[in-house]
C-alpha cells in the first residue's frame, strides 16, 4: 500500500463524522448512520485504491449501507480489503454520550478475516502486555499479568467492559480481583484502542461484542503494537455453518492477531463524532466544523493525530442538517 493512502483515508472518516455529528443527541440513530454512510461512500469514490468491503453493515440487499462485497475507490492503486463502520456507536450518537467514532481499516487484499455478523469473545491490551494474556485464562490471572507489565498493582488496573447482562459474572470476577471497571453502553472498538494509550486510563478490554468490530479493533492494535484475541460465539446452527464456510472448523479455537489481520501492513483511521478519552468530537460554529482524527500504519509504526477545520459550505454533499 502507498504511504499516502493513510492521509487519504482520514478524509473518509472526517466526512462521515461531520455528516453524522449533526444528529448527536437527537435520538435518531438510523438517520445518523445513513448520513455517515453516504458521506463515506462519496469520499471513498475519490480515493486511489481498488477496495472491497469485507467488514461492513450487511449484505448487498441491505443497501444503502456499506455492504460486504461492495467495491470502493476510484479503481486505481492498490487492491485492498476494507473494514468499515461509518458510526461505531449509533446509540452513543443518538444519546449524545462518549466515544462514538467514524472508523475504518484497510489491509492488502486477502489479509483481513471476513468475520461473520455474530458475537465474539474478546480481550485487548496495549503493547506492554503483548504475549502475556490469554483469553482462556482466568480473569484474575490476566489482570495480574497486565498489572505486572504496566508496573501497577491489580487495584490500579482499569478494565473496560460493555454494560450487558451477559457480563455479570465477568464484572464480578474483575471486582473480586480488586480492579476497577469502566462500563460502556456501546463502543468497544474505542475501548480496545484506548488500551494502547496510557492517557486514556484503560488498561484492558474484555467481554463479548460484535465480531466485525473485533476485526476493526485488531487492525488498530496491530498498528499500535498491542494485542487482541477473539473467539467466535455462534448462537445457532446457521451461525455455526457460517463459521465453517469461512474455514473455521472449530469455533473454540482462539483467533489471534495473525488470524484477524495477516501480513505486515494495515492502516487504521478514526475520527471522533462525540467526545471520548482519546479523540474530541465534532464541533460546529456557523459555517465551519472541527474534527480530531487518529491515523496509523502498521508497517511504519507511525501514529498521527490530525486536527482539521472544515468550511462546511464548500462541502454541501455530505454535511446535511437534520
Is 164 one of the annotated binding-site residues? yes
The dihedrals phi and psi of 17, each to the nearest 5 degrees, come to: -65, -40
Question: Residue 85, annotated ligand binder?
Answer: yes
Q: In 3-state terms, what secondary structure has residue 38?
A: helix
| HEC secondary structure over 297-309 | ECCCCEEEEEEEE
Terminal alpha carbon distance of the chain: 37
Interhelix angle for 168-176 vs 139-149, to 10°? 50
Q: Is 188 annotated as a binding residue?
A: yes
Q: How far is CA 183 from the centre of its chain?
A: 17
Answer yes or no: is 213 a known binding residue. yes
Give the chain's length.
322
| 187 carries a ligand binding annotation | yes
The answer to whether the annotation marks 210 as part of a ligand binding site is yes
Annotate 289-320 with b (16+ C-beta within 10 A) or e (fewer). Answer: bebbbbbbbbeeeeeeebeeebebeebeebbe
165 annotated ligand-binding residue: yes
Inter-residue contact 143 to 180 (CB < 8 Å): no
33 is in an annotated binding site: yes
User: Per the annotation, does 166 bind a ligand?
Assistant: yes
35: cell is 448520513
User: Are the CB atoms for 278 and 189 separated by under 8 Å?
Assistant: no
Binding-site annotation: residue ranges for substrate: 88-90, 119, 164-166, 186-188, 210
Binding-site annotation: residue ranges for Mn(2+): 33, 57, 85, 88, 213
Binding-site annotation: residue ranges: 33, 57, 85, 88-90, 119, 164-166, 186-188, 210, 213
Amino acid at each position: 500500500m502507498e504511504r499516502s493512502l493513510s492521509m487519504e483515508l482520514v478524509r473518509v472518516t472526517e466526512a462521515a463524522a461531520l455528516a453524522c455529528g449533526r444528529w448527536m443527541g437527537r435520538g435518531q440513530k438510523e438517520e445518523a448512520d445513513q448520513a455517515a454512510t453516504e458521506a463515506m461512500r462519496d469520499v471513498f469514490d475519490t480515493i486511489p485504491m481498488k477496495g472491497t468491503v469485507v467488514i461492513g453493515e450487511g449484505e448487498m440487499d441491505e443497501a444503502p449501507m456499506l455492504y460486504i462485497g461492495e467495491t470502493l475507490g476510484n479503481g486505481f492503486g492498490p487492491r485492498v480489503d476494507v473494514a468499515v463502520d461509518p458510526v461505531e456507536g449509533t446509540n452513543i450518537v443518538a444519546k449524545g454520550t462518549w466515544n462514538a467514532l467514524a472508523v475504518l481499516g484497510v489491509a492488502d487484499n486477502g489479509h483481513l478475516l471476513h468475520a461473520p455478523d455474530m458475537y465474539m469473545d474478546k480481550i485487548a491490551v496495549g503493547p506492554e502486555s503483548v504475549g502475556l494474556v490469554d483469553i482462556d485464562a482466568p480473569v484474575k490471572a490476566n489482570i495480574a499479568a497486565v498489572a505486572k507489565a504496566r508496573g501497577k498493582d491489580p487495584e490500579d488496573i482499569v478494565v473496560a467492559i460493555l454494560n450487558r447482562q451477559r457480563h455479570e459474572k465477568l464484572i464480578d470476577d474483575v471486582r473480586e480481583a480488586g480492579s476497577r471497571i469502566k462500563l460502556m453502553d456501546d463502543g468497544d472498538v474505542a475501548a480496545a484502542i484506548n488500551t494502547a494509550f496510557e492517557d486514556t486510563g484503560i488498561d484492558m478490554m474484555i467481554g463479548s461484542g460484535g465480531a466485525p468490530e473485533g476485526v476493526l479493533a485488531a487492525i488498530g492494535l496491530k498498528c499500535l503494537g498491542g494485542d487482541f484475541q477473539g473467539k467466535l460465539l455462534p448462537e445457532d446452527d446457521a451461525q455455526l455453518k457460517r463459521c465453517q464456510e469461512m474455514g473455521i472448523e472449530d469455533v473454540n479455537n482462539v483467533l489471534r492477531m495473525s488470524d484477524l489481520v495477516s501480513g505486515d501492513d494495515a492502516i487504521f483511521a478514526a475520527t471522533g463524532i462525540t467526545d471520548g478519552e482519546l479523540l474530541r468530537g465534532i464541533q460546529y460554529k456557523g459555517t465551519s466544523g472541527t474534527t480530531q482524527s487518529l491515523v496509523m500504519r502498521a508497517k511504519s509504526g507511525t501514529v498521527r493525530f490530525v486536527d482539521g477545520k472544515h468550511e462546511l459550505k464548500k462541502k454541501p454533499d455530505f454535511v446535511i442538517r437534520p
